[in-house]
Amino acid sequence: MEAIYEILARLGGEADLDTIVEEALKIGIPPPVATRLLMRLVEKGRARVICAPSIRYRAV
């Protein structure tokens, strides 16, 4: 889960799901696992879902 949080922070603290999954894949985290870990960050309050023209995720 920390790896996904670090990816999100490295991407400027905010990114869309596709970008997060692509970066996770580069370090060996498969897309379904990356998505599940991102949702756990949201559940724990460490990331927020930002609804704009596209859905983005923001590190808290």
Token pair of 19, please? 């970008």
The distance between the two most distant Cα atoms of the chain, rounded to a whole number of Å, is 30
Please tell me the predicted confidence (pLDDT) of residue 54: 82
Tally of structural domains, the chain: 1
Range of the domain at 13: 2-59
Condensed to tens digits (0 to 9), the pLDDT of residues 4-49 reads 999 999 999 999 999 999 999 999 999 999 999 999 999 999 999 9
How far CA 48 is from CA of 8, 26, 28, 41, in Å, comes to 11, 23, 24, 8
CATH number at residue 48: 1.10.10.10
Please tell me the predicted confidence (pLDDT) of residue 22: 98
- Position 53 confidence tier, pLDDT thresholds 50, 70, 90: confident
Is the pTM value of this prediction over 0.85? yes
Please tell me the predicted confidence (pLDDT) of residue 45: 96
Separation CA 20–CA 15 (nearest Å) = 7
Q: Are 29 and 38 in contact (CB under 8 A)?
A: no
